Chains A and B, each alone.
Chain A
């Protein structure tokens, strides 16, 4: 009987492995969020010459757990004028797209377990980069719908701002990434990493790296580009009316997007899991680079003030887009020559 079952499942091994990987990575991403919140609060504290959370557990490590419990048990308030269905849907879209985007991010060379080769990624699609852009672009809907359904002018303003900002900076993001696609000749993220085995792309494409990183910060709605939730003008932007776990889901989306963006920068520009002579496991090299970039994200937040909204759009359209177009043109010409 057991032999029969094993025989039946033999051709579907890859399906089972795939599902297990999907569960593990989704779980890991959700688990990373509290850790990142802790890291951000501790680092922000240090940057601002104060202590940060240090009461719950050693180094305040219990703080994210107590925060999560608080958020889970908070009363969920929905004002009567809201569109109930969209109000519930919006945070789900944000978290869902954030997790699905990570599906195509590879974080190491394939490893052999019990004679079965397992790639350290959920899906190896040959349009990897396009998939990331497609799904992360859908994340905007979460914010727009949150703004629309809340029936609150501050929420609406926040939703509109976020969509305008993300559409504008997606262009720069795509164009900067395209120069790497031109260099590599492939849309697959694994091919990109493999092409950087002697030197990372940042050395030959420093401008593209800068553009990609700036646009990436704007895409994840992080300071200094966190206009959709500017406290002084918009109360809290698109999530003004949200409470409890639904409120937290927006932040889960934001932090997961941060991880994805750092991973993308690592894969495209910093050589992925290549460690360039430093003795480290591929996965350790990869996570180290991602962690460093996450710290840079937090560092930027505590360094720069928020820029004004019209300046943000001017900067995006009149500075970043032309530079990235020029960069792409020069890169393509150089590659053809």
Chain B
């Protein structure tokens, strides 16, 4: 009597809707004139990305996406907008603007062209849904991969981040002028 698979249908619909929302939100980021709303569109976009990760069974990456980008980075964006006073920018036609629109239109055209040429292919990796389930969750799978095959790169990245953090503290704590005087 009922032939279709309700689960797959719902999943496909939800995935498409979330993807569409992500695209619309990212359009909102560049088209909106108020900085607060731009930031909010970006948050919306991040959340949609996290939802897409979630729909493809990557719970750990989804949670990290929300914690790092939507939770920490964007809060600082909003913080700065609040401190500087987010005024609406006045939009007037200019050459740069039309150039930008032409660029975006070209990119979109290319996107449609690539869509007609052939279907996108998934990247082949070590893990699929079953191996991840055997290991015991996506967090463990990522941990195993990261700390076995990519441990050097991982440690190097952490050193890089540490240097950046120390650099930021140095830049903000000590003013630039005395450093230049010493140079003379």
Contacts and interface: CB of A to CB of B under 8 A. Distances in A.
B82 interface: yes
Interface stretch (A64-72, A129-137, A196-204, A288-296): A129-137
Interface residues of B, number: 27
A313 interface: no
Contact of A148 (B60, B78, B138): B78
A163 B73 CA distance: 12
B12 interface: no
Interface in B77-113: 78-79, 81-83, 86
Interface in B28-44: 36, 40, 43
Given A8-B2, A127-B138, A187-B139, A137 B72 contact: yes
Interface stretch (B62-70, B122-130, B158-166): B62-70
A187 B75 contact: no
Contact of B78 (A131, A138, A141, A188): A141
Contacts of A4: 1
Contacts of A148: 36, 78, 81-82, 86
B67 A137 contact: yes
Contacts of B66: 134-135, 137-138
Interface string A119-146: 0000001110011011101101100110
Interface in A151-175: 156, 159-160, 163-164, 167, 170
Given A133-B67, A134-B63, A127 B137 contact: yes
Contacts of A298: none
A219 to B, nearest CB: 12
B82 to A, nearest CB: 5
B167 interface: no
Contacts of B71: 133-134, 137-138, 140, 170
Contacts of A170: 71
A134 B66 CA distance: 6
A138 B50 CA distance: 13
Nearest to B86: A148
B70 A138 contact: yes
A130 B36 contact: no
B118 interface: no
A182 to B, nearest CB: 12
A190 to B, nearest CB: 12
Contacts of B78: 141, 144-145, 148, 163
A127 B72 CA distance: 19
Given A126-B59, A167-B72, A160 B83 contact: yes
Contacts of A140: 71, 75
22 contacts: A12-B7, A86-B40, A126-B137, A126-B138, A126-B139, A130-B64, A133-B63, A134-B63, A134-B67, A135-B66, A137-B67, A138-B66, A138-B70, A138-B71, A140-B71, A140-B75, A144-B82, A148-B81, A148-B82, A148-B86, A156-B82, A163-B79
Interface of B: 1-2, 6-7, 36, 40, 43, 59-60, 63-64, 66-67, 70-72, 75, 78-79, 81-83, 86, 136-139
Interface of A: 4, 8, 11-12, 83, 86, 125-127, 130-131, 133-135, 137-138, 140-141, 144-145, 147-148, 156, 159-160, 163-164, 167, 170, 187-188
